[in-house]
Amino acid sequence: MLMERDSEQDNNIEKIEELREKMVATALVHGINHPKVLWYSQQIDEKHNDILKLKHQNI
């Protein structure tokens, strides 16, 4: 069970990095206030929350 959480956490971290890169690239092309930039930011927040939930389960 612990290894599954570690794997899931690693996947979330990788996804956050991927989303961050896409968010930055989109902001450079369309501007920081573009709806797609906000969408990427929200997706990053969701993945971060998932990581926090997994850490809370480990306590």
Tokens encoding 4: 């599954």
Output the CA angle 27-24-43, nearest 5 degrees: 100
Q: What is the pLDDT of residues 28-57, one digit of tens each?
A: 999 999 999 999 999 999 999 999 998 887
Q: Is the pLDDT of residue 2 over 60?
A: no
How much is the pLDDT for 56? 85
Expressed as residue numbers, the domain containing 43 is 2-57
Total number of domains in the chain: 1
pLDDT in tens, 3-36: 666 788 889 999 999 999 999 999 999 999 999 9
pTM, rounded to two decimals: 0.85
Is 32 within 8 Å of 8 (Cβ atoms)? no
